[in-house]
Amino acid sequence: MLGWLSKTVGAIQSVAPEKKVTFSKDELEDVLLEADVEYDLVEIILRELHGEKIKREQVRSKLLVALTWAKYELPEYETPFVDLIVGVNGAGKTTTISKLASHYLSENKKVLLGAADTFRAAAIEQLTLWADRLNIPIVSTQQGHDPSAVAFDAIKSAKAKKIDHVIIDTAGRLHTQKNLSSELQKIVRICSKAHENAPHRKMLIIDGTQGNSAITQARAFNEMIDIDGIIITKLDGTAKGGSIFSIAYALKLPILFIGVGEQPTDLISFDKYRFVDSFLDAIFVSEKTDKPTFGAEDKTEADRTIEPENREEAVPSRPSDEDIRRLHALKDDDKRQLIKRLNSDGYDMLSQHFVRNQSTWNDYKLTVNEEKCQWEIHDKDGSILKYYPL
Ligand SMILES: Nc1nc2c(ncn2[C@@H]2O[C@H](COP(=O)(O)OP(=O)(O)OP(=O)(O)O)[C@@H](O)[C@H]2O)c(=O)[nH]1
Ligand SMILES: [Mg+2]
């Protein structure tokens, strides 16, 4: 189990104390709501589940679909890469900046911070403290000064010093929302004057302990400046882990990282497969299956690494030449079997998803993976959404 999910697992166990192989829709509804999956999304998921006894694989497909938006493509850029960090007061912006900086430092990159939250003197002090601790440069000014000027100077300074990454802090609250909106838009404009296409990534920090109530504020920030990705913080201290599904689904934005503590190392790249499988481990008895599930075992220590899990260990051994011939020949029997399996869960789920999002088979590809000897459905970001071993 993912260590940071423990409180959510506790909440799930309060309504479903016993893990089972199948659940009724009513039971699943209770579980999902208790984990703070938003009601609307629970309804959608349940509507698409067919049969009396719902199996793990059926729920897994639906939960993965809710996270299908977790796609982020790094834009082309010239260094420095500029991250602009926004979010409401206390969401965890400044702490997350220290974590991101630490992440970049671990990749041997040079980092510079821009203290563009000039609304409070304490905000500048807090970021300066982190810069000192991490031994990295910071560009700041006095309280009340123009935050876009700080952003501009930070980027110019980074260019002159050949720094790889600039991370810019911003205020979470001003006197009015309109002030905040025009200030953030101005910072974005000025960043692009200092460096082409900057800020390259506008990241919204969401306080995970707020669960679904953070969705409205997130929408507001997205309207102010188009957000590129989300970081959800404080997931170590909440039983509302299920809100990750509804946040991603409602905002149609990728979740890039999650924060699971107050230390610079407490930032994890969000891996939807690990998350979904860990979530399901709290509900279902692990089925004897030939399909590998990721993150099924306790990896609390590994959770604290930024690298996605190495999945190689779960890959079955190389198929024989005969297996490969079968895959390519796709005899009628094989085809019929595949279509049956797709119909029983995957195809049904995918086809409904196509209709809802006007996707096409060009977004979802059915391919043959020789190495692993399986059919695979790839989703938009090239990840395997479902797979069927021969
Ligand atoms: N447990 C836990 N605490 C966190 C996490 N991220 C931030 N915090 C704590 O949340 C509080 C607020 O974090 P800040 O980083 O100051 O939040 P901010 O968004 O910069 O706040 P303002 O500057 O006031 O707008 C601090 O006490 C942090 O230590 C996290 O992932 N887990
Ligand atoms: Mg702050």
Confirm or reject: Cβ of 207 under 6 Å from ligand 1: no
CA angle 201, 146, 86 (to 5 degrees): 30
Confirm or reject: Cβ of 241 under 6 Å from ligand 1: no
Confirm or reject: Cβ of 3 under 6 Å from ligand 1: no
Nearest to 245 by CA among 40, 92, 91, 384: 40
Q: What is the largest CA-CA distance in the chain?
A: 73
CA of 275 to the centre of ligand 2 (A): 28
Tokens of 363: 């977004």
Ion ligand 2, residue ranges at CB < 5 A? 93-94, 123
Identify the pLDDT of residue 124: 94
Using an 8 Å Cβ cutoff, are 389 and 290 in contact? yes
Beta-bridge partner residues of 202? 84
Confirm or reject: Cβ of 90 under 6 Å from ligand 1: yes
Determine phi and psi for 82, rounding to 5 degrees. Answer: -110, 120
Confirm or reject: Cβ of 264 under 6 Å from ligand 1: no
Nearest to 102 by CA among 139, 130, 83, 68: 130
Nearest to 272 by CA among 60, 7, 30: 60
Q: State pTM to two decimals.
A: 0.75
Confirm or reject: Cβ of 98 under 6 Å from ligand 1: no
CA of 277 to the centre of ligand 2 (A): 33
Using an 8 Å Cβ cutoff, are 316 and 277 in contact? no
Task: Give the number of other CB atoms < 10 A from CB of residue 232.
Answer: 31
Confirm or reject: Cβ of 34 under 6 Å from ligand 1: no
Confirm or reject: Cβ of 99 under 6 Å from ligand 1: no
Residue 80, preceding peptide bond in cis (omega within 30° of 0): yes
Confirm or reject: Cβ of 389 under 6 Å from ligand 1: no
Count the alpha carbons within 13 Å of 345 in the hemisphere toward its beta carbon: 19
Identify the pLDDT of residue 343: 60
Tokens of 159: 């260019």
Residue 199, preceding peptide bond in cis (omega within 30° of 0): yes
Confirm or reject: Cβ of 242 under 6 Å from ligand 1: no
Q: Which residue has the tokens 């420095």?
A: 80
- Coil, strand or helix: which one is 387? strand
Q: Which of ligand 1's atoms lies nearest the C-alpha of 91?
A: 19
Q: Which of ligand 1's atoms lies nearest the C-alpha of 90?
A: 21
CA of 93 to the centre of ligand 2 (A): 5
CA of 22 to the centre of ligand 1 (A): 39
Task: Tell which one of 262, 267, 304 to mutate to probe ligand 1, the residue whose CB is within 8 A of the most ligand atoms.
Answer: 262
Confirm or reject: Cβ of 208 under 6 Å from ligand 1: no
CA of 263 to the centre of ligand 1 (A): 10
Confirm or reject: Cβ of 259 under 6 Å from ligand 1: yes
Q: How far is CA 19 from the centre of its chain?
A: 26
Supply the residue whose CA is at minimum distance from atom 13 of ligand 1. 92
Identify the pLDDT of residue 213: 85
Q: Which of ligand 1's atoms lies nearest the C-alpha of 117?
A: 23
Supply the residue whose CA is at minimum distance from atom 7 of ligand 1. 92
Which ligand approaches the C-alpha of residue 87 most closely? 1
Confirm or reject: Cβ of 234 under 6 Å from ligand 1: yes
Mean pLDDT by 10-residue block, N- to C-terminus, for the chain (390 residues)? 84 92 95 94 90 90 81 86 95 96 95 95 94 96 93 98 97 79 96 96 95 89 94 92 92 92 92 90 70 33 31 40 60 64 57 52 66 72 68
Supply the residue whose CA is at minimum distance from atom 10 of ligand 1. 92
Which ligand approaches the C-alpha of residue 261 most closely? 1
